[in-house]
Chain A
Amino acid sequence: MADIALGTALAAIGAGVAIGFAGLGSGLGQGMAAAGSVGAVAEDNDMFARGIIFSALPETQAIYGFLVAILLLVFSGLLGGGKGLPTEAGIVAIGVGAAIGFAGLGSGMGQGMAAASSVGAIVEDNDMFARGIIFSALPETQAIYGFLIAILLMVFGGILA
């Protein structure tokens, strides 16, 4: 087995939490939006493009989680062969993963519900498209907060230094 510093191993946990929970939220949200969209397309073929847009919205949380996880893996030395992280920085990395992971979980689920509801509103009334996008975009903010804090923790916690 490779010789891995404790800090690096903790960062690996952080990376797992980041993509694991963000991906969970994103997947659940996307499932909700896609289920609503399929129903809409079954009744109205013209809803396909708009259904895709709303189903794609909850993808962003998984992208944030994936990006943070990659950064943690690279800067902890797990990928790229650096010298590894000190234990204190490794603990910070768990906080990094938790920040984007849990924010992404809540944000993804919320966005999925809003997107599914918006698809229903649009297929009932075409004029609801712009308003549906605005309401569906609102739960994105929680993921952005989580992503921002994750980056700040990496910068000032000695990981991206």
Chain B
Amino acid sequence: MDIYPYLNPSSRVRARKGRLFDEKQISEIVETNNIEEVENYLRGIPEYADVLDEYPLDKALDVERANTYDFVARLAPKEIKDPFVVMSKKSDIDNIKSLLTAKEVGLSADETKDLLIPSGSLYEDLESLVDAENVTDIVTSLDGTEYAAALEDALPQYEDTKMILPLESALDKYYLGKLLRSTDVPADENRQILYSYVGTQVDVANLKLIIRAKEDGLDYDAISPYILEEGYQLREWKLKDLMESPDVTNVVSGLEGTKYAEALTDAMPVYNETGSVAVFEKALDTYTSEYSKSLASKKPLGIGPIIGYLSQKENEIKNLKIIARAKREADFPNSKIMEMLI
């Protein structure tokens, strides 16, 4: 009887999953000659046509992603709804970050407004903050929202350094913590799968942060405030070990015995050759995608199709953004774009 609440949502997400781009369509988009052709191609797809009628490409993709989170949060059965509701608030966090960035670099009100994604429960409030004087004003104006405490804790650090990184990291940490806590009672198989899915995202976010920090030569004290210590497979003690590693190579070797080791070890030769930590980020994204696919097949009349759809839709949008960015650069080789795709 526990399958009943999943039957309707499963069919709905599978219908949308069937409309996602297959490899042939992605190749066709990569083969386009310029950004206008990419847009024209997407206008032939009903989901993207609607958002492209209203917004420029990048914003349209952000709106489509926010719509996807909203859709899944709306139809998810009650017992698994919480984490998807948290995910649907990601556009609020992205909008706050955009506001902070806009104020930091001194964008005008109109330019700032263009950056905001028209989605999330705070959109209208945030839209009214485009005229705020400075970063501190934005933070104090958010008093009373769920993000206030996290931002106010990081505000002194911003005022010391005049860099918004501590504020952005505080928001990311708040989001990941809330996401992890929303699934921390894995009472049945559906919730266990959800916990693995969400937990892997938290671990991957922590790992990306540690790897990038180590590339910049930061030590434990500099990294630890931004890390969510509650990780999933990478618990507090393991994260501490990784943060204390002297360099990226040691971080990767320190992951031995965890499920992330193989993906990162395989990327090591390319890192040694190029010196870019982007290879590890791509390896982690690919790992997350493959892992989500494996979770999606576990409960076909349960949470499986929901995770499968969400994960593949996220990848599709990430890939479209990669293609769009590449098409804006003159003579960017298509073969290179294909390599960059998840």
**A13 within 8 Å of B by Cβ?**
no
| Bound-state Cα–Cα, A35 to B6, Å | 9
Contacts of B10 in A (CB 8 A): 36, 39, 116, 120
Say which residue of A39, A44, A125 sits within 8 Å of B8 (CB atoms).
Answer: A39
Q: Is the CB of B305 within 8 A of A120?
A: yes
CB-CB nearest in chain A for B11: A39
A41 to chain B: closest CB distance in Å? 8
Give chain B interface residues in 1-47, CB to chain A under 8 Å: 3-4, 7-12, 14-18
**A123 within 8 Å of B by Cβ?**
yes
Q: Is the interface of B mostly helix, strand, loop or mixed?
A: helix
A46 to chain B: closest CB distance in Å? 11
Task: Take A36-B10, A38-B8 as given contacts and tell me if A124 and B15 are in contact as well, using a CB distance cutoff of 8 Å.
Answer: yes
**A121 within 8 Å of B by Cβ?**
yes
Task: Take A117-B300, A117-B301, A124-B18 as given contacts and tell me if A32 and B7 are in contact as well, using a CB distance cutoff of 8 Å.
Answer: yes
**A42 within 8 Å of B by Cβ?**
yes
**A40 within 8 Å of B by Cβ?**
yes
Task: Take A116-B301, A117-B300 as given contacts and tell me if A124 and B8 are in contact as well, using a CB distance cutoff of 8 Å.
Answer: no
**A37 within 8 Å of B by Cβ?**
yes
Say which residue of B11, B16, B17, B18 sits within 8 Å of A36 (CB atoms).
Answer: B11
Contacts of A116 in B (CB 8 A): 3, 7, 10-11, 301
B7, B11, B12, B300 interface centre (most CB from chain A within 10 Å): B11
| Bound-state Cα–Cα, A123 to B11, Å | 7
| Bound-state Cα–Cα, A44 to B10, Å | 14
| Bound-state Cα–Cα, A13 to B111, Å | 77
Q: Is the CB of B3 within 8 A of A124?
A: no
Say which residue of B3, B15, B18, B300 sits within 8 Å of A39 (CB atoms).
Answer: B15
How many chain B residues sit at the interface, stated as a range, is 10 to 19
Q: Is the CB of B3 within 8 A of A123?
A: no
Q: Is the interface of A mostly helix, strand, loop or mixed?
A: helix
CB-CB nearest in chain B for A47: B15
A37, A39, A40, A44 interface centre (most CB from chain B within 10 Å): A39
**A86 within 8 Å of B by Cβ?**
no
**A68 within 8 Å of B by Cβ?**
no
Q: Is the CB of A43 within 8 A of B301?
A: no
**A158 within 8 Å of B by Cβ?**
no
**A15 within 8 Å of B by Cβ?**
no
B interface with A by C-beta (< 8 Å): 3-4, 7-12, 14-18, 300-301, 305
6 closest residue pairs by CB, A with B = A39-B11, A43-B15, A124-B18, A35-B7, A39-B8, A123-B15
A interface with B by C-beta (< 8 Å): 31-32, 35-40, 42-44, 47, 113, 116-117, 119-121, 123-125
Would you mind naming 30 contact pairs between A and B with Cβ atoms under 8 Å apart?
A32-B4, A32-B7, A35-B4, A36-B7, A36-B8, A38-B8, A39-B7, A39-B8, A39-B10, A39-B11, A39-B15, A40-B14, A42-B8, A42-B11, A42-B12, A43-B15, A44-B15, A47-B15, A113-B301, A116-B3, A116-B11, A117-B301, A120-B305, A121-B14, A123-B14, A123-B15, A123-B18, A124-B14, A124-B15, A124-B18
